[in-house]
Amino acid sequence: MYILGLTTLGDAAATLISDGQLVAAAEEERFSRIKHHSGFPYRSIEYCLEEGGIRIGDLAHIALYWKPWVLRHKALQAVKSLTLSRNMFSARVNRGVAQVSESYLGMFRYPHLLRRHFGPSTFKFHYLEHHLCHAASAFLVSPFETAAILTLDGTGEDTTTMFSRGEGTRVRPLKRIKLPHSLGQFYSAVTNFLGFDMFAGDEWKVMGLAAYGEPRYYDFFARRVLSANGDNDFRVNIQVLDHHLAKLYQFSDEAIEALGQPRRNGEAIEQRHQDVAASAQRLLEDVVLHMLQGLYQQTREENLCLAGGVAFNSVMNGRIMKESPFKRFFIQPAAGDAGCSLGAAYLVFHSICKRPRNFQMEHAYYGPQFSSEECSAALREAGLHFETLPDEILLPRVARLIADGAIVGWFQGRMEFGPRALGNRSFLADPRRADMRSLLNQKVKLREWFRPLAPSMLEECVTDIFGRPHHDPFMITVINVLESQRDRIPSVVHVDGTARPQTVSRKTNPRYWQLIREFEKISGVPVLLNTSFNIQEPIVCTPGDAIKTFRGASFDALVLENNLVIRS
Ligand SMILES: [Fe+2]
């Protein structure tokens, strides 16, 4: 039984499963080359069908991550919060609401669009609740038979936060928190206040910046903007900080009085901005920990699944693992909306078709791959000089290049699902070089100096580095590095002594594991610096994307499967 899951508006994606096994999953942005692509994911669907070797007529079910008829709540909320502003431009409001309506209402035409574009088919089409898809995306592919589930995002149809319990093939919602009370929207509003762009997914920047600040504004945020309350709940006061107004770069007098003027994009980052980031970050963590206490009391589960865009907050995840009552955790690599396509497909398979569970997501490699011959053909066509080498020669050679200071664009196997490059579409460099972070951020990736870079490490060596066992194949949790280890790998340790590691397993990515092992043989360090293979655009997908990036940038070597290009 083939089932296709779809995410369409923002981080559009498609996922194909076959009898409960994950066949293919990819974000549309990788094909369209538009970050966070919003729109119908034609190319992701094409890819999924091709990977599965099927046609649309072979699909029994297609499931969407959204119930468009719940739109009115969201639209009403947008109008309500917009009318709070004294400086509102009604034309902008009307346009905004009209756009929202158009795009969500367009969902009713999806079955028709699918048949028109891909051909006749008898699939059954399902509209599923957004947060249920988030919850399913984590729990139904987790190693757990039962678990508590917390999903957190900007908003679904009107739910922003959901407590659930996962039991076998079921996800049972326990509680929903609705607009305007949204942790994701609170964080996005702070993102815009700090001069970053919530539409570009710049929330990462706030988290990175927070490590440089002191939470001086914590009390203001906790008292006036976001407060936890006794019922394992939280409240956002949109009179003081409103997401819809922040979108338009408008902030209340009270917020400006307390926090100072909002920063404009491109202005210098001052200590005050770092302190605002630190305060919002700390408060987010505290509110989520507060809710998790309640979720634990309610479920008495030891396993926790997290999903939704806020679950990408790896610093928060680190505190959850350390301080929440739960003992075991699972966060799926596409925790944001792209992952809802996966959740939707599994919801249909288990909850609607009542099939038993038979799959665990142990890695993220579910995207397109290209043979070494396809890669060499692309290199030849581009007129680049390259050598084709067997792994026994190539891997030690690449490890040596990295140890000698090279930054390598590393391209192999199936592309990752989710925003993290996990060793198949990555820039790799030497973590021992303290200057590597600024070199990579500013000279290669052309982005802010404060963005932390993360390590990939052999899973066998994790305890040596962190002083305790840790399993995170998806690079989604920040934890403390042992003090004695920080000087060994300075470019992947953040200013506060933490790192966001990918633990690399020989089972799920043997070739990447071997490359790190070769680096360890030379350097004594079982760690590589790993950041995504992209410069100001989505992570590379094809050999052509990788070659284009190589040509336009200043990194030293490119590996496309078994082909090595060294910049002269
Ligand atoms: Fe979401």
- pLDDT score recorded for residue 230: 78
Residue 122 scores a pLDDT above 70: yes
In this structure, is the dihedral angle defined by the CA atoms of residues 313, 318, 323 and 326, taken in order, positive or negative? positive
* Residue 439: burial class (beta carbons within 10 Å; 0-12, 13-18, 19+): middle
- Say how many Å lie between the CA of residue 561 and the centre of ligand 1: 34
Kindly provide the residue ranges of all beta strands, DSSP E only, lying in 241-338, ordered along the sequence. Answer: 303-307, 328-331
- Say how many Å lie between the CA of residue 161 and the centre of ligand 1: 9
The percent of residues in the chain predicted with pLDDT above 70, rounded, is 94
User: Which residues are near ligand 1, the ion (C-beta closer than 5 Å)?
Assistant: 153, 337
Residue 3 scores a pLDDT above 50: yes
pLDDT tens digits for 399-447?
999 999 999 999 999 999 999 999 999 999 999 999 998 888 888 888 8
- Say how many Å lie between the CA of residue 380 and the centre of ligand 1: 42
Dist. CA 147–CA 171, nearest whole Å: 9
Residue 401 Ramachandran class (φ > 0 left, ψ -120 to 50 alpha, else beta): alpha
Task: Write the CA distances from 302 to 71, 172, 314, integer angstroms.
Answer: 35, 17, 20
Query: Residue 71: which pLDDT band, with cuts at 50, 70 and 90?
Result: low
Return the number of other C-beta atoms located less than 10 Å from residue 354's C-beta.
9
At 55, give phi and psi (nearest 5°): -115, 170
Q: Span 473-487, mean pLDDT?
A: 96
Q: Is 530 in contact with 421 (CB distance < 8 Å)?
A: yes
Q: Span 501-523, mean pLDDT?
A: 98
Query: Residue 394: which pLDDT band, with cuts at 50, 70 and 90?
Result: very high
What pTM value is reported for the model? 0.94
Dist. CA 489–CA 525, nearest whole Å: 8
- Say how many Å lie between the CA of residue 25 and the centre of ligand 1: 17
Residue 529 scores a pLDDT above 90: yes
What end-to-end distance do the CA atoms of the chain give, in Å? 51
- pLDDT score recorded for residue 244: 86
pLDDT tens digits for 306-361?
999 999 999 999 999 999 999 999 999 999 999 999 999 999 999 999 999 999 99
Pair of tokens at residue 18: 């076959």
Dist. CA 116–CA 460, nearest whole Å: 51
pLDDT tens digits for 142-179?
999 999 999 999 999 999 999 999 999 999 999 999 99
- pLDDT score recorded for residue 451: 84
- Say how many Å lie between the CA of residue 134 and the centre of ligand 1: 7
Rg, the chain, Cα only? 23
- Say how many Å lie between the CA of residue 488 and the centre of ligand 1: 38
- Say how many Å lie between the CA of residue 45 and the centre of ligand 1: 20
- pLDDT score recorded for residue 101: 43
Dist. CA 247–CA 243, nearest whole Å: 6
- Say how many Å lie between the CA of residue 305 and the centre of ligand 1: 15
Identify residue 36 by its one-letter amino acid code. H
